[in-house]
């Protein structure tokens, strides 16, 4: 089978890494890919939003299956375009992907289908939004409606911060068209977790649980990012809670989309807040998360190509998906200044020495080759991932590997997986 993976980040490197282990895969391509991916697949210089160019490449190379990594091509309708051309692809069509593309749509969708989530109001203009803030009070969450690379969510602790967020999004257009509308949402209290499933539209196969770390600094301080690290499993998501999420959130979501003429096939990601009243939805993603993918796929035993093939054919119920009973931890190395303006072009050394460590894989996210030298090319540069028998071993392997990597201005959180470690120690 010939497979094309679309994307260029750490998530796509993890997808290619796992697919490259499949005996079913005879040729593996990635568009546009990154220097880490080039070791495993042939990278082709086609942008993720060039739907016609991607379709032409798939036809020319007789690709059997395309796997979409990032959200942009999904929200542009790549699945619809490919299916119209008779090309097999894994991912939801454009109308189904709107649950990620528009937070306003996803919020009203959840309200229509009685899926538990925070109360919110939607505003197009700053003045009514500011009036609502003064009447409603703070803290509250201010969200840009559209795609903002994980940075369009501002947790305002007081009214002044909320008003500043409205000015940033609606007046100053910090997130461009993604900020044409804002949601003012009640702040939920509890612990966050990520719940992802494979689905062909009928069968739902839950993945192992994971927990992301959005804030840039230790102890969940500082601004939100695209993700500073993750670990799997997430002990806070007990088996009982997982069944509740499937019953009260995942199944009603897929059934609701189908009833509205938006049938869903692909990866469904549910960002959860585990509140005292039960799990509630913070957000949907219409694809794998990053860096959750890195910790989930390093625990997957089943052939990923087999899973994707079954999803595209609507026969996911024929695949038995198995997982390693292990712990995986991923810590993201970022460039100086991230998530604000960050530096690029800094030479990177030590990856080969880092990967000598047992159970360690270094996934490239924002890197490029410049005159034959590996340099930084993004805010999130590398995702150092390690699998261990328990949280302590996985954490030790990750941070030992990180100690061998160098680039100017390198930053990472030092507490990734610590919550999981404490939770398991407390239950021991």
pLDDT digit string, tens, across residues 98-136: 999 999 999 999 999 999 999 999 999 999 999 999 998
CA–CA dist 295, 326 (Å, integer): 10
Which helix (H) or strand (E) element contains residue 242? helix 239-245
Query: Would you list the DSSP string of 346-380?
Result: -B-B-HHHHTTSTTEEEEESSEEEETTEEEE-SSE
Beta-carbon contacts of residue 323 (< 8 Å; ≥ 6 apart): 207, 208, 299, 300, 301
Residue spans of the chain under pLDDT 70 = 149-151, 426-428
Closest CA to 380 of 8, 10, 6, 7: 10
Q: What's the pLDDT score for residue 149?
A: 66
The secondary structure of 82-111, three-state, reads HHHCCCCEECCCHHHHHHHHCHHHHHHHHH
Q: What's the pLDDT score for residue 179?
A: 82
Q: What's the pLDDT score for residue 188?
A: 93
CA–CA dist 345, 268 (Å, integer): 35
Q: What's the pLDDT score for residue 172?
A: 86
Rounded to two decimals, what is the model's pTM? 0.94
CA–CA dist 213, 418 (Å, integer): 11
**Strand, coil or helix: what is 2?**
strand
* Rounded alpha-carbon distances, angstroms, from residue 148 to 142, 178, 226: 13, 6, 9
Q: Are 223 and 215 in contact (CB under 8 A)?
A: yes
Q: What's the pLDDT score for residue 227?
A: 93
Q: Following CA atoms 300, 246, 313, 15 in sequence, which dihedral angle do they give, to the nearest 10 degrees? A: -30
| Per-residue pLDDT tens digits for 207-243 | 999 999 999 999 999 988 889 999 999 999 999 999 9
**Strand, coil or helix: what is 425?**
helix
Q: What's the pLDDT score for residue 151?
A: 66
Q: Domains of the chain by range and CATH? A: 2-91 (3.40.50.20), 125-180 (3.30.1490.20), 191-318 (3.30.470.20), 327-427 (3.90.600.10)
């Amino acid at each position: 089978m010939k497979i094309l993976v679309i994307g260029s980040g750490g998530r796509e490197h993890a997808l290619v890494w796992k697919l490259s282990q499949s005996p079913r895969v005879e040729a593996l391509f990635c568009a546009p890919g990154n220097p880490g991916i080039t070791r495993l697949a042939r990278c082709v210089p086609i942008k993720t939003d060039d739907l016609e160019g991607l379709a032409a490449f798939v036809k020319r190379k007789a690709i059997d299956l395309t796997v979409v990594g990032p959200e942009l091509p999904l929200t542009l309708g790549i699945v619809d375009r490919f299916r119209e051309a008779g090309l097999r692809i894994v991912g939801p069509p454009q109308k189904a992907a709107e649950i990620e593309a528009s937070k306003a749509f996803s919020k009203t969708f959840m309200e229509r289908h009685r899926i538990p989530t925070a109360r919110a109001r939607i505003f197009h203009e700053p003045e009514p939004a500011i009036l609502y803030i003064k009447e409603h009070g703070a803290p509250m969450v201010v969200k840009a409606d559209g795609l903002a690379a994980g940075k369009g969510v501002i947790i305002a602790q007081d009214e002044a911060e909320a008003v500043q967020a409205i000015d940033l999004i609606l007046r100053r257009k910090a997130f461009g068209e993604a900020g044409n509308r804002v949601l003012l949402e009640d702040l939920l209290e509890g612990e966050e977790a990520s719940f992802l499933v494979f689905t062909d539209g009928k069968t739902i196969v839950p993945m192992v649980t994971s927990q992301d770390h959005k804030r840039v600094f230790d102890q969940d301080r500082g601004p939100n990012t695209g993700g500073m690290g993750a670990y799997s499993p997430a002990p806070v998501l007990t088996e009982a809670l997982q069944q509740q999420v499937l019953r009260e959130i995942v199944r009603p979501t897929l059934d609701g989309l189908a009833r509205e003429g938006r049938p869903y096939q692909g990866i469904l990601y549910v960002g959860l807040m585990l509140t005292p009243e039960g799990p509630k939805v913070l957000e949907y993603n219409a694809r794998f998360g990053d860096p959750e993918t890195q910790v989930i796929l390093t625990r997957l035993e089943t052939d990923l190509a087999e899973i994707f093939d079954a999803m595209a054919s609507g026969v996911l119920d024929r695949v038995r998906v198995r997982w390693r009973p292990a712990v995986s931890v991923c810590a993201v190395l970022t460039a100086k200044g991230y998530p604000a303006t960050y530096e690029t072009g800094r030479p990177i050394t030590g990856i080969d020495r880092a990967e000598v460590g047992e159970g360690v894989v270094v996934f490239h996210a924002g890197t490029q080759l410049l005159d034959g030298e590996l340099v930084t090319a993004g805010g999130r540069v590398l995702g150092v991932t390690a699998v261990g028998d328990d949280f302590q071993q996985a954490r030790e392997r990750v941070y030992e590997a990180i100690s061998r990597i160098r680039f100017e201005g390198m930053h990472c959180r030092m507490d990734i997986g610590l919550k999981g470690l404490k939770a398991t120690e407390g239950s021991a």
